[in-house]
């Protein structure tokens, strides 16, 4: 199934934060939305899934497999979320429920969408914890988010998003809060899981170096608008927009700073 976003406009608090954004994600493709903070990339992702506040004004078109998502009742969107489209947020500390075990949170989606009983759902949670390379999955599913490291919490968030093996994964800055080593591990994990499931990916980031490791096509946003759309290799070697050129300079400086990954 493919995702097609056309002329998406989002207004929040009387301010236009997404202004005519359009892009397509064919079945199995890996697309990156990249831009600085405030560029509109995360708001775009939330608009796709109907997760913006009721006060938001959203116009345009978001079609998933030919089905228009804008204007769908919340109940129908809730059936899509987690089942056909999964999302991983930037900060699992706030995305995960602090008073529920991670096993229950992984199992919730399959209980709702696959109608599994409690025992089968727990077994599925252990299986998904193992799939995202969490240590001692049988024990870790009984723990709470605060008992895990940042990298482990992000793996749990990925397991929650992928528990029903959705056709599309939206990953919203999933490595930003992690150190470089854990960041690389999470990127490698996502790369493998997306390949394994044959799913489509929308990866959101402000870092062109990170984007180059996970996506094949990039859409560059600034002030809520698309300023460039091209294969990632072109963004790295021949960026046209001054915004993309600035992102490339930032990525190069990060890679080659003293004591960095060079």
Q: Give the pairing type, strands 217-222 and 30-34.
A: parallel
What does the alpha-carbon distance between residue 132 and residue 152 come to, in Å, rounded to a whole number?
9
CATH number of 1-84+168-262: 3.40.50.300
In angstroms, the Cα distances linking 36 to 43, 117, 196, 250 are: 13, 44, 31, 11
The packing angle between helices 102-113 and 150-162, to 10°, is 10
Q: Hey, is 179 helix, strand or coil? A: coil
What per-residue confidence (pLDDT) applies to 259? 45
What per-residue confidence (pLDDT) applies to 254? 63
Tell whether pTM > 0.85. yes
Q: Hey, is 64 helix, strand or coil? A: strand
**Residue range(s) in the chain whose domain bears CATH number 3.40.50.300:** 1-84+168-262
3-state SS, one letter per residue, for 161-189: HHCCCCCEEEEECCCCCCCHHHHHHHHHH
Return phi, psi of residue 244, to 5°: -65, -40
Per-residue confidence of the chain (262 residues) as pLDDT tens digits? 899 999 999 999 999 999 999 999 999 999 999 999 999 999 999 999 999 999 999 999 999 999 999 999 999 999 999 899 999 988 877 889 999 999 999 999 888 888 888 899 999 999 999 999 999 999 999 999 999 998 999 999 999 999 999 999 999 999 887 888 888 998 999 999 999 889 999 999 999 999 999 999 999 999 999 999 999 999 999 999 999 999 999 888 765 544 444 3
What does the alpha-carbon distance between residue 94 and residue 195 come to, in Å, rounded to a whole number?
28
| pLDDT one-digit tens code per residue, 47-84 | 999 999 999 999 999 999 999 999 999 999 999 998 99
Q: Hey, is 129 helix, strand or coil? A: helix
């Amino acid at each position: 199934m493919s995702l097609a976003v056309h002329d998406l406009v989002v207004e929040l608090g009387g301010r236009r934060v997404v202004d005519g954004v359009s892009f397509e994600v064919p079945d199995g493709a890996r697309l990156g939305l990249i831009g600085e903070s405030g560029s509109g990339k995360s708001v775009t992702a939330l608009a796709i899934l109907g997760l913006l506040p009721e006060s938001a004004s959203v116009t345009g078109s978001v079609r998933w497999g030919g089905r228009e998502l804008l204007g769908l009742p919340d109940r129908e969107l809730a059936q899509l979320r987690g089942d056909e489209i999964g999302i991983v947020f930037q900060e699992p500390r706030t995305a995960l429920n602090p008073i529920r075990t991670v096993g229950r949170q992984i199992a919730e989606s399959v209980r709702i969408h696959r109608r599994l009983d409690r025992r089968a759902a727990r077994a599925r949670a252990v299986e998904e914890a193992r799939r995202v390379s969490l240590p001692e999955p049988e024990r870790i599913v009984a723990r709470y988010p605060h008992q895990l490291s940042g990298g482990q919490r992000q793996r749990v968030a990925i397991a929650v998003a992928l528990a029903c093996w959705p056709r599309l994964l939206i990953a919203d800055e999933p490595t930003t809060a992690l150190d470089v080593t854990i960041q690389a591990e999470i990127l490698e994990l996502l790369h493998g899981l997306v390949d394994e499931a044959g799913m489509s990916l929308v990866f959101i980031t402000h870092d062109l170096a990170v984007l180059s490791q996970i996506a094949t096509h990039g859409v560059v946003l600034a002030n809520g608008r698309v300023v460039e759309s091209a294969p990632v290799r072109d963004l790295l070697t021949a960026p046209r927009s001054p915004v993309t050129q600035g992102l490339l300079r930032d990525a190069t400086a990060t890679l080659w700073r003293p004591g960095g990954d060079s």
